[in-house]
Structure 1
């Protein structure tokens, strides 16, 4: 049979219509193979569509939430800036409004972020999602904490000057009094704060900063994450004892009234706790207000209690100062300030002088820093024209005013060199009394705007040991000690070094002395670590017989207990016993104080010539074992109050670390670097 094709008019047979290749079933895609069900085709199609729709929703939800989150997060910088400015202005109502705005915006971000929950299951991306959860939880805790603080402070906002424009109407003196009256009731109302701060720290510590770029669109992401973690670490000890601080602070600040013995230490003539005690004052405070500041020269104590400290001075004092009596002005022989304070108080209690609640030590750096805070002051009778006196350049600046730059030199001038006709000779040391009274009065009468700077001033000088405190009350002293403000020799588990210089007869050379310390460690064949401590001294100012002279120094180095002295280079005399010296090493084990081994040396430095003093000693075997177990080198460097030491360098193997010894420093160096 033939068929006629209509289009062509040609004929063909049925076999011509068969396919040219064998029949094959169309290959199914991967999705089709997966979704092969024994249902009708229509049902299978609907099921496939449903699965795809679910997948699209799962993708679209977090994507939409991500876009929404982006726009919500963009609003935070402006809100954060407003909150920061409100805090700086100490305006509580404005702080409350700013916190409310942050709270509202944070709630939107939390909602947006919750829509991205699916990302927690995605490899790698899940880590960032969890970081985000930590950050949001920390932010929520922080906002809740801030709102709680605002609620607690609201009844006291006018009393504390926390209302716009009101702070400028309240003096520092008034604000302190109001604050001390307010602290005790506040201590019991801040339970949420004491609870939340550790939780905030825990959430922030859960974020890994190394996962983030150094910089993203001008924001230093990694830096600020690390900074937040560091700040929380540093403030954790204070926050954890916040209630105790609020309970004790009023008593420390004179509520009820109390009197402190304040020692004025001249760091230009360096001594173990900061300087020669040139004078002292009996500072009486009540409610943060100075009621009396009775200043006396160092000799005043001897006039009222001739026995002074009542027993023979330590051997280095008697030898190098040629004294047979331990005078009040030399009482700060111990480098551990609580020990010095207890020595002074033991004699003080026997004297007819007023009872004191504690001892505060200030060195000359505090006085100079105070003038940065208060501004220049002029004292009648101590305002000579010094233009043609031949004084050092730093003495001549500031015209007739005392400034932070010329204070120390001018104090020395009026105490030691003032003309006989000047008022400064009639009561030379009275100048310290006049200056301290003038500064206290100026700061007390300042507006409360100076408050943040005053707080910074106090903590800066506590950290740098220019200001040290000893409280007679045990609970108060423990709190001061725990925060590191007692000026004591600290405990350590690793290596330790405390270089303590005493200027015994070297004029005021520490005004100019430059001092650096280099340390190097070498492992010996028997596994013991040998350490070399090289101290460089240099006075760039020519001898003048007044300030710059031949520097006579008795130095003690405190090292880990059990260390053995190998050699000392540069010493005139070597002290390996607390009361005996020699020209050689008599006792390699040194003597023991405060859980440390101590080695001493005496030497002298000529102006404008470098001098090096070098100690070589072996660290104890326990130290070598600890280093091996931990695979790292740990060192605690303690700063002496008033020290001239600037940079300290540590070398172990090929690794060198350099630190500025403006305060105690801890160094950790991984071994094998």
Structure 2
């Protein structure tokens, strides 16, 4: 039998309160709307219930005060599957007209709703209704049937354990391999100056490496248990590679930003503080990089040929860092902290080679004030030489072979020692233009500028409407130097000034890493030499052989029975051309030791003049000098087998030989000098020391050294990798810098 419920008033307002709008609530609202009632739903009880004729409160957790329910309104509290709370409500509201309805079960139907509504709206004095609905069928969980479980066979169990062991010990390999590959790519991109790409590789490699470390705890413990450090070394190499690349990226960015501030003339005090902070960070990063690179060099295995290039790059990086560190420690002096300094810049054209680097075509003044480059002014050399009134006696070779009765700044680089040339240049500039108070000097050759331009893609010179790069620099410079040239013309000066300004303006776009490497290469190859009045800073420059000084040939005090050999070949192009652009030299030294221990040496140079008989080429008119150890005995000098008798010979600190060579275009000439050293080998252990110096501004030359030993003298050791064949020691190298060779011999 179904109950029929009627609502006597039309459009009565009904409130349904439930925290959740579940299926029961939807069914209740649906049935109420059939009776033309306005049904309102709320998850919470409104403050004012008097607006509603009927209120249904579903599953209220707290029993509300009776005073909250307005008189004359029909209230019903419905509890679903909460019989205990329903009984508590009956007891609490027993003296009121509030109806309490309790439903137990889940499948509530329309019939149940009709029964509920009939009870809620009826005039019955009963206040509590309870009915039961069917429950949802419970999901039965089947119990473990241990009777069906069978122990796997020993073979399967062993296989499972073995696979698990392999997985735990090999799972780290893929992410570790990926991280190693990505770190290599990051380093390669860094080397290629693609820093953004390097940073991306490094980030992904870091994620992969972090994963490899997390899952490698088991195999690392196993390796350590068997006293093997192989795995630890692999992880340590990757860790240090990650830190090195990370610090290197940070370093190049800080160097670039520091250079921008240094080149800014109107720098603020805040920018200076930032500069000092960056310099301090650069110092710390260099220390960290040096430590990690040194460790990598030691831990990378030398046996693997694939790692040889990496180890070579790391060794070069260590060498660069070892040079940068002491200079950075003296950066306050170099960049004139809280003071002002002026450095003399001498631009030497080494295509017209002179003993001190080349013909001085231009010079400049570099003014630095408190970590800032205030001004760089470039002058043509004739701006100064045209103002020299007094006579200055030139070196004999200049007056004899160049036909020049006076000595000028342009020819001042006529000593192979830069300090002497710097002193001479200062003398000329004081006499010619009144310039004094220099704090040091840089001599920069044409080749050095060409090296430095390698750090830039291309420079545009708006004054000349020219694009200049590493490949066309010399030809462009030569064109503007010689075009409509006359003493006092300003084309060359203006071209160099414009180029210098373009380099400074475009410095932020250059690769700071490549710029540093090219600058170091220029210093190592003596295409840039420098001198500072600060003795502490100059001592560092001298130790790197960057000051262009002649070396005093002497053995170390603690070395007994030492014979010193010294060879310094020096060219001076006096042909008023740029023939050195086309001239190549190859050097050869044959050392023959007789049974008595005397050393008979033959030093030869082959000159190859590949120029045409037109400017800038032509005949290579070379006043050649050779410095040998003091008291060396000159036996013979020949050119292409013809004996030379017209030469100058001096014996002071060095044995000096000077003679004029003329090598026609498209010809080859060989100069050969036979000499004997003053000392001889003693019985027992001896040391032969050879100092081979490279001329400032000279191009790199092939050098072959051959040492021929008699039967009673044997080789013990040497500081170079030589080919030892029967009684000969043969060594091939490239003379790109000053070199010192040591050979230990024993005489019976």
Query: In 2, Cα distance between the equivalents of 1:366 and 1:352?
Result: 29
Query: In 1, Cα distance between the equivalents of 2:339 and 2:165?
Result: 61
Query: In 2, Cα distance between the equivalents of 1:179 and 1:90?
Result: 26
Query: In 2, Cα distance between the equivalents of 1:255 and 1:138?
Result: 43
- Please tell me whether residue 660 in structure 1 is matched to residue 730 in structure 2: no
Query: In 2, Cα distance between the equivalents of 1:487 and 1:625?
Result: 34
Per-residue CA distance 1:497-537 (angstroms, 9 max, x = gap): 32111123453322322322222221122112222111112
In structure 2, the residue corresponding to 1:277 is in which secondary structure? strand
Contact 2:346/2:363, CA 8 A, preserved across alignment: yes
Distance 1:62 1:656, change over 3 A: farther
Instruction: Report the counterpart of residue 647 of structure 1 in structure 2.
Output: 702
In structure 2, the residue corresponding to 1:639 is in which secondary structure? coil
C-alpha displacement of 1:364: 2.1
Aligned pair partner of 1:431 in 468, 487, 491? 491
C-alpha displacement of 1:262: 1.5
Higher strand share: 2
- Please tell me whether residue 213 in structure 1 is matched to residue 299 in structure 2: no
Instruction: Report the counterpart of residue 398 of structure 2 in structure 1.
Output: 317
Query: In 2, Cα distance between the equivalents of 1:263 and 1:340?
Result: 10
Query: In 2, Cα distance between the equivalents of 1:176 and 1:135?
Result: 50
Higher helix share: 1
Distance 1:487 1:99, change over 3 A: farther
Alignment of 1:89-100 (within 5 A): 89=195
Aligned pair partner of 2:322 in 215, 219, 237? 237
In structure 1, the residue corresponding to 2:600 is in which secondary structure? strand
Per-residue CA distance 1:469-489 (angstroms, 9 max, x = gap): 222222332233233322222
- Please tell me whether residue 607 in structure 1 is matched to residue 607 in structure 2: no
Q: Name structure 2 gaps, 5 residues minimum.
A: 1-161, 556-563, 709-727
Instruction: Report the counterpart of residue 77 of structure 1 in structure 2.
Output: 180
Distance 1:146 1:662, change over 3 A: closer
In structure 2, the residue corresponding to 1:510 is in which secondary structure? helix
Instruction: Report the counterpart of residue 32 of structure 2 in structure 1.
Output: none
Distance 1:599 1:61, change over 3 A: farther
Instruction: Report the counterpart of residue 439 of structure 2 in structure 1.
Output: 357
What is the Cα-based RMSD across aligned positions, in Å? 4.7
Contact 1:529/1:619, CA 8 A, preserved across alignment: yes
Instruction: Report the counterpart of residue 532 of structure 1 in structure 2.
Output: 602
Contact 1:305/1:352, CA 8 A, preserved across alignment: no
Aligned pair partner of 1:576 in 610, 629, 649? 649
Distance 1:554 1:131, change over 3 A: farther
In structure 1, the residue corresponding to 2:623 is in which secondary structure? strand
Aligned pair partner of 1:375 in 458, 471, 496? 458
Query: In 1, Cα distance between the equivalents of 2:386 and 2:459?
Result: 34
Query: In 1, Cα distance between the equivalents of 2:238 and 2:692?
Result: 36
Q: Which moved more, 1:260-269 or 1:135-144?
A: 135-144
C-alpha displacement of 1:660: 2.9
Instruction: Report the counterpart of residue 87 of structure 2 in structure 1.
Output: none
Distance 1:197 1:548, change over 3 A: closer
C-alpha displacement of 1:333: 1.6
Contact 2:578/2:616, CA 8 A, preserved across alignment: yes
Contact 1:62/1:115, CA 8 A, preserved across alignment: no
- Please tell me whether residue 250 in structure 1 is matched to residue 250 in structure 2: no
Query: In 1, Cα distance between the equivalents of 2:645 and 2:499?
Result: 44
Query: In 2, Cα distance between the equivalents of 1:264 and 1:626?
Result: 51
Instruction: Report the counterpart of residue 367 of structure 2 in structure 1.
Output: 284
Q: Quick one: higher RCO (CA 8 Å, sep 6+), 1 or 2?
A: 1
Distance 1:342 1:336, change over 3 A: same
Contact 1:648/1:658, CA 8 A, preserved across alignment: yes
Structure-2-length-normalised TM-score? 0.61
Distance 1:636 1:377, change over 3 A: farther
C-alpha displacement of 1:116: 0.8
Query: In 2, Cα distance between the equivalents of 1:641 and 1:136?
Result: 46
Query: In 2, Cα distance between the equivalents of 1:161 and 1:285?
Result: 18
C-alpha displacement of 1:196: 5.3
Query: In 1, Cα distance between the equivalents of 2:686 and 2:523?
Result: 35
Contact 1:591/1:599, CA 8 A, preserved across alignment: no
Instruction: Report the counterpart of residue 559 of structure 1 in structure 2.
Output: 628
Per-residue CA distance 1:179-214 (angstroms, 9 max, x = gap): 97545445666786676566546645654844x332
Instruction: Report the counterpart of residue 346 of structure 2 in structure 1.
Output: 263
In structure 2, the residue corresponding to 1:610 is in which secondary structure? strand
Distance 1:619 1:142, change over 3 A: farther
Distance 1:415 1:456, change over 3 A: same
Which protein has the larger Cα radius of gyration, Structure 1 or Structure 2? 2
In structure 1, the residue corresponding to 2:586 is in which secondary structure? strand
Query: In 2, Cα distance between the equivalents of 1:575 and 1:426?
Result: 33
Distance 1:74 1:147, change over 3 A: closer
Aligned pair partner of 1:501 in 571, 587, 607? 571
Contact 2:591/2:599, CA 8 A, preserved across alignment: yes
In structure 2, the residue corresponding to 1:559 is in which secondary structure? strand
Instruction: Report the counterpart of residue 469 of structure 1 in structure 2.
Output: 530
In structure 2, the residue corresponding to 1:274 is in which secondary structure? coil
Instruction: Report the counterpart of residue 520 of structure 1 in structure 2.
Output: 590
Per-residue CA distance 1:401-446 (angstroms, 9 max, x = gap): 666555545544554463xxxxx66953x22222222223333333
Query: In 1, Cα distance between the equivalents of 2:282 and 2:480?
Result: 51
Instruction: Report the counterpart of residue 113 of structure 1 in structure 2.
Output: 220
Query: In 2, Cα distance between the equivalents of 1:561 and 1:188?
Result: 48
C-alpha displacement of 1:335: 0.6
Give the total of aligned pairs: 545
